[in-house]
Amino acid sequence: MWQYIVKRLLLMLPTLIGAALVVFLLMHVVPGDIALLILGGDQGGDINPQELVRLRTQLGLNRPLYVQFLSWLWRVVHLNFGTSLWTGTSVLGEIMIRLPLSLEVAIAATVVSTLIAIPLGTIAAIRQDTWIDYVVRVVSIGGLAIPSFWAGILIILWLVIYFDWAPPLEFVSLFRHPWENVAQLVWPIMSVGYRYAAVTRMTRSTVLEVMREDYVRTALAKGLRERAVVVKHALKNAILPVITIIGTEFAFLIGGLVVTETVFTLNGIGRFMVDAIAHRDIPVVQTLVLLIACVFVVVNLMVDLLYAWLDPRISYR
């Protein structure tokens, strides 16, 4: 196991370097000159050519691409992500302001939705083709079909019309005012968590498949209680594909809550990414994409390790 973990950690390095290289090249292939954008030349104003050359030299844009990439990568190794071209402050500082909000929403939505989705999927599989199964399937299909931003807008309209509630303009930390924080984020979490209906459908499908196995039918024929068979045998073997879906969804939520954060006026990572792209803030975009890539790689490693813990038959050599 430890050899496998070390190998995976070593493989993370070229993966992240490759992701950083792709992002770096894409940001420099996009048409437009960031120096010209900063000076306002994209708006049709007159720009002093000497001032443009001076700014390009200051930003290091006059150097070869490979030199720029290696220089940026060296700074990243030392956790120096540079200065935002949009705000003029540290990129790391800007991210750390917004990261706790995105993490809280992602973790809470994942935990709450998983605790609801897995039991519902299991019950739907056990009570196949009953009214319970049909209700769970309709609700889960709705979660896959309804966009989270539309669900968020409906929630806000319902709260405004019936409870005179509106999204607060300022984020309140969980450690400073826990109750206000929960009251502020409960609705975004519900809106985001509804997309975890995919977990419900996957749980139902895998449990149905396992319940048809010979060892499960044998356990039921021997007189074991259905609850014990489902919990100890069926669900434990059916949970592995579900964990993959949960991990993928969680990694997506770190940077994929753009519209939800906009609807609920939350200043998170996703919204910051869109603003940085609009302002051609190359250091911020590169850092955020690298951060999201790191999250995906780490989550995949954790999912693989959970596989071995849940199913002893899986071995890593």
Tally Cβ neighbours within 10 Å of residue 7.
11
On whether the pTM is more than 0.85, the answer is no
pLDDT of 313 > 60? The answer is yes
| 99-123 confidence digits (pLDDT tens) | 888 888 888 888 888 888 888 888 8
Domain that holds residue 128: 92-310
In a domain, residue 295? The reply is yes
Contacts of 12 (CB under 8 A, 6+ apart): 297, 298, 301
Tally Cβ neighbours within 10 Å of residue 141.
13
In a domain, residue 258? The reply is yes
- Helix pair angle (269-278, 91-126), 10° resolution: 130
| 223-242 confidence digits (pLDDT tens) | 778 787 887 777 877 888 88
Tally Cβ neighbours within 10 Å of residue 73.
15
| 118-141 confidence digits (pLDDT tens) | 888 888 888 888 888 888 888 888
Q: How far apart are CA 240 and CA 247, in angstroms?
A: 11
Q: For residues 244 and 148, which has the higher predicted lDDT (pLDDT)? A: 244
In a domain, residue 44? The reply is no
In a domain, residue 64? The reply is no
Q: Could you tell me the two tokens for 309? A: 């813990």
> What was the pLDDT predicted at 168?
67
In a domain, residue 25? The reply is no
In a domain, residue 213? The reply is yes
| 40-90 confidence digits (pLDDT tens) | 655 545 677 777 777 777 777 777 878 888 888 888 888 888 888 777 788
Q: How many residues does the chain have?
A: 317
In a domain, residue 68? The reply is no
Q: Max CA-CA distance within the chain?
A: 87
| Number of domains the chain contains | 1
Q: Could you tell me the two tokens for 116? A: 């609801």
In a domain, residue 293? The reply is yes
Tally Cβ neighbours within 10 Å of residue 257.
28
- 83: three-class secondary structure by DSSP: strand
Cβ atoms of residues 136 and 208 within 8 Å: no
Tally Cβ neighbours within 10 Å of residue 236.
13
Domain of residue 103, CATH code: 1.10.3720.10
